[in-house]
Amino acid sequence: MLENDLKFLEETFKQYYFDHFDLIHVPDRSKEREYGYKKFNSGMIRHMSLKTDKDLHLMLMTNVPSDVFCSNGYYSFPNLPMAEKDWKEADLIFDIDAKDLNLSCRKDHTCMKCVSCAEISLVQDTCPKCKSNKLDYVSLPCQNCISGVKKEVLNLMKILTSDLQIDDKNIRLSFSGNEGFHVYVTNSSYNQLGSNERRDLIDYIKFQSAIPERFGFPKNNPSRASFPDLGDPGWSGRVAKELFGSKSKRSKTITKVISDGKVAYQQKLEEMGKNSIGVKIDSNVTSDIHRIFRLEGSLNSKSGLVKLVCEDIEKFNPYTEACLIDDQPIEISANSPIKFRLKNTNFGPYTDEKISVPKYAAAYMICKGLASITST
C-alpha cells in the first residue's frame, strides 16, 4: 500500500474509533476471551487479553488497527499460547458470504487487478496490458448479493430454531463489514461441542451425506408411502417440497424416482444439498473452536464498512447503516471499472480519474485497491 493511502486509512480509522466508542464494546465473558488485531501492511498480533471497554478503547487509540478480532472460544488463560490456554467452550458461529453463493450477478460487479503490472480492468483471461495470468479479483457486492445472503441466513435460522431447538434469544446476527453475515449462537448446549461434533452439525445444516433410505427409498421394495410428505418437519419436508413442488405432483414424481433407481435418487439428494436446500455456510469457520472473529463495531479493512449487529435483517441495508465513516470531501485518483452505491449515492465507473468523493467512498475504494490519495 502506498504511503499516502496508508496514512489516510490510519487517520480515518482512528477518527472513526474515536467518534464511535459507543458502538465498540468487549463481549460477554471478556476476561475468558482471546483478542487480536492487524495493522495496515503488517501481520496478526494474537493472544491478547482485554477485560473492559476501557482496555479495548485504549488499544484502538494506541495501535490504530486495520482489523480487530475476538475469539469465539472461552479459556482459563486467554493470553497464553494456544496449547496452554485451557479451552472451556466456544460460541457456535456461522459465516455466510456472497462469494460462496454462485450468484449470476457476481460477474457484473467483479474486476481484476494484475499482480505483475497493477493494471485494473474488467474480468478477462489475462491482463490486457502485460498478458500476465497472475490476477487478483475484486468484487463490489450489490444489493442482489446481500439479498441472496439474507435468504441463506433466514434458512439457517429456521434450522437452528426448529430442527435444533435453539432459542432465538440466544441467536445474534451481524453484518460482517464486507459481503456477508455472521450468525452467533451463545449460551447454548451446542457451545460445548468440539470440532468433530461441529462437523457433524455442518453436514446436517448443509444437507450433506444424505442417504436414499432416510428419504423414502429402502434397499428393497420402495413404495409411495415411504417417501416424505410436504408437511413433514425438518429435512423430510424440505426434501418433499423440493422434489415434488406440490402435493398434486407427488405420486407421479415418486413413480419416476423409483423407475430411475436408487443411484439416481442419491445423486438427486446430493444435488439438492449443493444447489438448493443445503445452507451455504463456511464449514471451516463453524468447525474452528479456536478462531478469532472480527469484533462487532469495528471496521473491516477490506471495505471500510463496519461489522454491525442486525436487529432486523430483512430491513437492514449495509451500504447505508454500516457505512459510518464521515463524508468530508477527499481528492483521489480512482480506477474502478465497476459502479457501486453507498449511502444512497452512486459512484463510478472511473478510469484513472482524479475526483473528489466523500471520505467513506474514498476509504471503500482504497480498501478495495481501486483508488489512491491524490499526491499534493
Residue in 112, 98, 76, 116 with CA at minimum distance from that of residue 153: 98
Distance CA 46, CA 125 (A): 38
H-type alpha helices, the chain = 3-19, 53-63, 143-158, 195-205, 234-244, 250-260, 262-275, 283-287, 318-321, 359-367
> Strands 171-175 and 308-309: what pairing?
antiparallel
From residue 369, alpha-carbon distances to 76, 125, 131, 147, 176 in Å are 40, 20, 20, 25, 19
> Are the C-beta atoms of 176 and 282 separated by less than 8 Å?
no
At 200, which amino acid appears?
D
At 322, which amino acid appears?
A
Residue the block writes with cell 445452507: 279
Q: Evaluate the CA torsion angle 263, 265, 270, 274 in order and state its sign.
A: positive
> Are the C-beta atoms of 113 and 120 separated by less than 8 Å?
yes
- Tell me which residues are annotated as active site: 95, 97, 282
How many residues does this entry show for the chain? 376
